[in-house]
Structure formats: structure tokens, C-alpha cells
């Protein structure tokens, strides 16, 4: 990667990469506890766009693990810069007059082998156009929802939000409920979490909150996995998981803004589409 970063950009990039390292280590530890030797495979990539030499527009690393507990989990980090196409720039905060952009972030999707273990999504990012902001969130996607898992996941996210602003959790929970909705199915993608975007007040405070979201995810999700990963399941449970995964794929291909952003900015296609489940069904 040959792009030059200022101190704020470098700090954000370093944090997202360090969070990736901690998450991957924890997920591999869960696999060890289950008697599996599965580990992440990391593949670097350079952003491709017309007129760019390799690395000139940044790039990232795609991390994927397929194991006994995590049927397929992707943890991607990227740091890219360049210019939006004019038609796409009009849809991006602060890019309507100047198409130049910078973006760094982490994106994670885990599809689990056991239908009783929820799938999960987490993403945090820092973007700069003529404006500068953080965004992201985390949401739980169980094929077989359990009220205690849902309550625990939300409680940890609420604690992270409340430590920074008491208005954050109700605001960002409602935003997640609205965003992670499949209108053509008239169902939510999962049991929610938090979602925020265009957090552009003061860099240090917004960055601190974004770090808290990443830490909260790491505190909330692994205990749920460990609690459910040895639960017995039936063929009907498995069929329900596959059908639910179909809904997840529909959302990510039709409605997810992150998928569109990655494809429109010359991102790595395999990394962008790692959110798709390894198997799904439509009955």
C-alpha cells in the first residue's frame, strides 16, 4: 500500500487492524476448544481502478476461516482512497462537489455450523470526503432466536453506547431496526443491534465511541458462541438455518450499502461478497 496517511487516518487504520487481530485470535481459540485446528487464511489485495498502479489506491487483507464451529467467517480490513464516479459521488455524504475520498475500516460476517449459534455481522469504518465521519455497528442474526442471547447482546452494546451518550443506544438501535429490514419480505434480517453513520462531531470522541463498539462486539459475541456451540439440533433446525441464510443473502445483495460501496470503489470482490453464506436454500 503506497497511499500516505495523516495521523488521524493512520490511527483509525491501526485500530481496525488491531481489532481484526484480536477477533481472529478469539475465534481461533473457540475452534481449538471444539477440537478443531481451523485457522484464518489471510490474502492481501490492492485496490483496482483505471489509471492506478498496484497499491496506489490502497488495499486491504481478506481473512477467511472455515472450521467446526465457524462454518464460514470473514474478517476484512481495508484502507483505500481515490475518486468516486460522478453518479455514485452524488449518493455519498460530502462527495457531491468533490469526488475524492478516503476510507478505512473492518468488516466481519460469521455464518455458524450449528443452527443454535447466531450468525453475526460487525462493521466499523472511518471515511473522509469534504466531510469526515465514523460509522458502523453490530447486529445478531440467529436462525433460531433465543431471548436471553438477544438480551445479552443488546445489553453489552447498550453499555458501550451509554458510556458515551445516553441518546446513542435508543437512536442507533432504532436505526439498525430500520436499516436491517428486508422490505420485499417484510421481515427484519435478524434481532438487531446498533447501526450508526455520519458521526462527525469531534474526531477523538467519535473515534473513542467507535473503538468501544468494536470492544463491545468482542465482549458480547464469543460468550454466546461458547454457550450454544454444543447444542444438539435437528434436520428441521438445519433447514430453517438454510432458509434464513437465503434471506440474509437477499438483503446483502439487494439492500446493503456496504456491498454497493465496495463494488463501486474497486474493492476486492471476494472480500466484498464474503458476507454470503456457504450454503442457503429457497423453499
67, 107 contact by CB (below 8 A)? no
pLDDT in tens, 3-13: 889 999 999 99
**What is the mean predicted confidence (pLDDT) over 121-128?**
97
| Per-residue pLDDT, 53 | 62
> Is 1's pLDDT higher than 60?
no
- Which pLDDT value is given to residue 54? 63
Whole-number average pLDDT of the chain: 94
Q: Is 184 part of the annotated catalytic residue set?
A: no
pLDDT at 49 over 90: no
What is the Cα–Cα distance from 106 to 123, expressed in whole angstroms?
A: 6
Instruction: Please give the pLDDT value at position 51.
Output: 61
**Residues 244/143, Cβ–Cβ less than 8 Å:** yes
Q: Which listed residue (93, 111, 116, 121) is catalytic?
A: 121
Q: Domains of the chain by range and CATH?
A: 7-272 (3.40.1500.10)
Q: How far apart are CA 111 and CA 89, in angstroms?
A: 32
Tell which residue, 253, 262, 276, has the closest CA to residue 45: 262
> In the predicted model, is pLDDT for residue 208 greater than 70?
yes
- Helix, strand or coil for residue 3? coil
What is the model's pTM? 0.94
Amino acid at each position: 500500500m503506497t497511499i500516505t496517511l495523516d495521523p488521524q487516518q493512520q490511527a483509525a487504520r491501526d485500530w481496525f487492524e488491531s481489532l481484526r487481530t484480536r477477533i481472529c485470535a478469539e475465534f481461533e481459540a473457540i475452534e481449538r476448544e471444539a477440537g478443531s485446528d481451523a485457522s484464518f487464511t489471510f490474502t492481501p489485495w490492492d485496490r483496482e481502478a483505471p489509471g492506478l498502479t498496484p497499491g496506489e489506491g490502497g488495499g486491504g487483507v481478506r481473512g477467511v476461516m472455515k472450521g467446526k464451529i465457524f462454518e464460514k467467517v470473514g474478517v476484512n480490513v481495508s484502507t483505500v482512497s481515490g475518486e468516486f464516479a460522478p453518479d455514485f459521488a452524488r449518493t455519498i455524504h460530502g462527495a457531491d462537489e468533490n469526488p475524492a475520498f478516503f476510507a478505512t475500516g473492518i468488516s466481519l460476517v460469521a455464518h455458524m455450523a450449528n443452527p443454535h449459534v447466531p450468525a453475526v455481522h460487525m462493521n466499523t469504518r472511518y471515511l473522509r470526503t469534504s466531510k469526515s465521519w465514523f460509522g458502523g455497528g453490530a447486529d445478531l442474526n440467529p436462525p433460531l432466536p433465543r431471548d436471553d442471547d438477544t438480551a445479552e447482546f443488546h445489553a453489552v452494546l447498550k453499555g458501550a453506547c451509554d458510556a458515551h451518550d445516553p441518546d446513542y443506544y435508543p437512536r442507533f438501535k432504532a436505526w439498525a431496526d430500520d436499516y436491517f429490514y428486508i422490505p420485499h419480505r417484510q421481515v427484519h434480517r435478524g434481532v438487531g443491534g446498533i447501526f450508526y453513520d455520519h458521526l462527525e462531531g469531534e474526531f477523538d470522541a467519535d473515534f473513542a465511541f467507535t473503538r468501544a463498539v468494536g470492544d463491545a462486539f468482542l465482549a458480547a459475541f464469543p460468550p454466546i458462541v461458547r454457550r450454544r456451540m454444543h447444542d444438539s439440533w435437528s434436520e428441521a433446525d438445519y433447514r430453517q438455518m438454510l432458509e434464513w441464510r437465503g434471506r440474509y443473502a437477499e438483503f446483502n445483495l439487494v439492500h446493503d450499502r456496504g456491498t454497493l460501496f465496495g463494488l463501486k470503489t474497486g474493492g476486492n470482490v471476494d472480500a466484498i461478497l464474503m458476507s454470503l453464506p456457504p450454503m442457503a436454500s429457497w423453499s
